[in-house]
Structure 1
Amino acid sequence: MRDVEPGIGDILLWGVLPYVVLAVVIGGTIWRYRYDQFGWTTRSSQLYESRLLRIGSPVFHFGILAVLVGHIVGLVIPKSWTDAVGITEGMYHVMALGIGAVAGIGTLAGIVLLIWRRRTTGPVFMATTANDKFMYVLLVGAILAGLATTAISVFDHSVTNYRETVSPWFRSIWILQPDVAAMAASGLSFKVHVLWGLALFMVWPFTRLVHAFTAPLHYFFRPYIVYRSRDARRGGHGSTPTRRGWDPIGTPDRERPGTRRR
């Protein structure tokens, strides 16, 4: 695995580029939040069309969440840990293939449906910017690259196991000791998938994808919002007291002699 001698290109791609991407993601997100909070949105087009959106959006979002969980398990958890709990390499790959294929195909089906809706619905297409089109190209490319990588790793047994190449390299990035040799020893399909993913993350803060960084998790913890109260002292229902009619309004200098002040 480590008999590949990394060259200058490998050092730039797998030792330098990841930190450039991290700097762009962090700096771009901070810049976007400070100077473009009104643009920090998905720019929802539900008002123009909702039938296809109700189908495509949940399929895509649940699929992408499953893909994210799969990547975390595959890249973060070392092989020695799964071996320690009795999960053999064969069992791991069967689960990864089954869950990954379902999640990837679901994600692809959802994004294709959303793109079809955006292209065929006039008002939605008119609201689509060049930035959106570029983002869709990168997103679909990343999904296709991931599916292709999964298929190649299953049917081509000559491809080096990504748990011995890509995963150690990914973990080494976060301890500031990039294992360039490990990534250089990986297969071409993995390298293309990683580079496409890095390109997607580099433009992430400058597209509508930035809304993923502000998921409304606080909705689960916020207190109830009282719209109407039931207070018997204030009329039983609602928040305003019941009145019998118009209340007279006047001042002492305008009251007629003999009338009693209320």
Structure 2
Amino acid sequence: MGSLFWWVIFPYVCLGVMFLGLLYRYAFRQLTWTAPSTEFFEKRWLRIGSNMLHYGIIVAFIGHVMGIIVPVEFYEAIGVGSELYHAGAFVGGGITGIVVIMGIVILLIRKTKVDPIRVQASFADFFTLFALLFVTASGTYLTIVYTLQHGAYQYGTTIGPWFRSLFTFQPEYEMMAGIPLLFQLHALLGFALFAMIPFTHLVHFVTVPLRYLGRAPQQYRSRSEYKR
């Protein structure tokens, strides 16, 4: 019963909360869809931390698609062997995880050290960043430390098929029973993060704001010639 709950019921509940929450927020609270800008109070560290976080998450998302959603048979068909596959995941995933962690830490420090930002920051702002930090840190640990200690884990033949089976509504939950506990925890944290999206500033990731990454920074001017 435990395996059925954690690897079938829990993922579907989290995805259901995410989709229904997004529909509700878009229909009734559309003006809260974007994250408010604090660039007026401080620009330098916002630019650094925000870019590291946003670019890093996009790369991490692509990496998860390549590692979990794309079957290993595809890589075998195009001549990518297991060693090259895991080497790419180790290097690319490790660097990306570190970049995202650094971006989150910079934004957390900024929220606590810059007085005007700290005053207006809500509990949800800090909770969101800490949730992202926890999920990213666990994934980075698995990518770097676990691999160095135990070797590359074959998640493409265990976690991947289970994840894809959820979307065919034939969940192969038995495949998750024997995987290492840390991988199980990371998967559950990921689904919990999905459920959080409609209720936090993470909601703007759903719209894939690619224009945001390339646009010029917003310009603010003060009547009192305020400079920081």
Whether the TM-score (by the shorter chain) exceeds 0.5 is yes
Residue 146 in structure 1 maps to residue 134 in structure 2: no
Structure 1 runs, 4 residues or longer, greater than 2 Å off: 155-160, 214-219
Q: Tell me how far apart the structure 2 counterparts of residues 14 and 159 of structure 1 sit (CA, whole Å).
A: 23
Q: After superposition, what is the alpha-carbon deviation per residue over 1:21-50, rounded to whole angstroms, capped at 9, x for unaligned?
A: 111000000111112112111111111111
1:196 to 189, 206, 220: 189
Task: Give the number of equivalent residue pairs.
Answer: 212
Shift of 1:174: 0.5
**SS of the residue aligned with 1:186?**
coil
Identity over aligned pairs, percent: 36
Q: Tell me how far apart the structure 1 counterparts of residues 210 and 143 of structure 2 sit (CA, whole Å).
A: 32
Q: Residue type of the partner of 2:207?
A: T
Shift of 1:160: 4.9
Q: Say if 2:86 and 2:152, in contact at 8 Å, map to a contact too.
A: no
Shift of 1:156: 3.8
1:66 to 36, 59, 65: 59
The aligned residue for residue 112 of structure 1 is 105
1:55 to 48, 60, 68: 48
The aligned residue for residue 77 of structure 1 is 70
The aligned residue for residue 30 of structure 1 is 23
The aligned residue for residue 257 of structure 1 is none
Q: Residue type of the partner of 2:78?
A: V
Residue 102 in structure 1 maps to residue 95 in structure 2: yes
TM-score by length of 2: 0.88
Q: Say if 1:165 and 1:183, in contact at 8 Å, map to a contact too.
A: yes
Q: Which structure has more helix as a fraction of its residues? A: 2
Runs (5+) with no aligned partner, structure 1: 1-7, 220-262
The aligned residue for residue 44 of structure 1 is 37
**SS of the residue aligned with 2:38?**
coil
Shift of 1:62: 1.0
The aligned residue for residue 229 of structure 1 is none
Q: CA RMSD in A?
A: 1.7
CA shift in 2, pair 1:30/1:153, >3 Å: same
**SS of the residue aligned with 2:96?**
helix
Q: Say if 2:67 and 2:160, in contact at 8 Å, map to a contact too.
A: yes
Greater relative contact order (Cα < 8 A, sep 6+): 2
**SS of the residue aligned with 1:38?**
helix
Q: After superposition, what is the alpha-carbon deviation per residue over 1:98-117, rounded to whole angstroms, capped at 9, x for unaligned?
A: 11111111111111111111
